[in-house]
């Protein structure tokens, strides 16, 4: 399936659920790993546009991004992948999101730690 790049420039992303390892199976507890053997983590983000519309998205990453709930972030290399599956006799579909990284976004008016230490 083709990766569809997502333009994040007009969106604000806020962490709404802590990073957690993505499971292959709820029953066995098997953790998903990428091609390189890295654990895949899932982070819940709210994505708000300039009109105030908000969507909740789960974003997968091949590392623990070490962010916390309420933190504003910028997804790096965010892509969407369309999927469909037959589950319980019903056809289900959606878009799975994946990013290379999540960068913390400084809050307006805050002073970076290195600047505060120099003062």
Per-residue pLDDT of the chain (119 residues; tens, 9 = 90+): 688 999 999 999 999 999 999 998 888 999 999 999 999 999 999 999 999 999 999 999 999 998 999 999 999 999 999 989 888 889 989 999 999 999 999 877 656 555 555 54
What's the token pair of residue 115?
């600047």
**Residue 85 has what pLDDT?**
87
Task: State which residues form the domain around 101.
Answer: 4-118
Centre a 10 Å sphere on the Cβ of residue 119 and count the other Cβ atoms it contains. 5
Centre a 10 Å sphere on the Cβ of residue 89 and count the other Cβ atoms it contains. 5
**Residue 25 has what pLDDT?**
86
**Residue 108 has what pLDDT?**
73
CATH number for the domain harbouring residue 28:
2.40.50.140
Report how far residue 17's alpha carbon sits from residue 14's, in angstroms, rounded to the nearest whole number: 9
**What's the number of domains the chain is made of?**
1
């Amino acid at each position: 399936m083709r990766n569809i790049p997502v333009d994040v420039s007009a969106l604000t992303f806020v962490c709404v659920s802590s990073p957690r390892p993505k499971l292959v199976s709820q029953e066995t507890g098997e953790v998903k790993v990428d091609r390189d053997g890295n654990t895949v983590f899932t982070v819940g983000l709210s994505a708000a546009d300039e009109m105030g519309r908000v969507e909740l998205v789960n974003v997968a990453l091949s590392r623990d991004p070490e962010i916390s709930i309420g933190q504003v972030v910028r997804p790096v290399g965010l892509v969407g992948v369309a999927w469909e599956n037959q589950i319980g006799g019903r056809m289900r579909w959606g878009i799975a999101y994946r990013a290379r990284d999540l960068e913390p976004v400084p809050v307006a008016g805050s002073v970076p730690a290195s600047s505060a230490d120099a003062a």
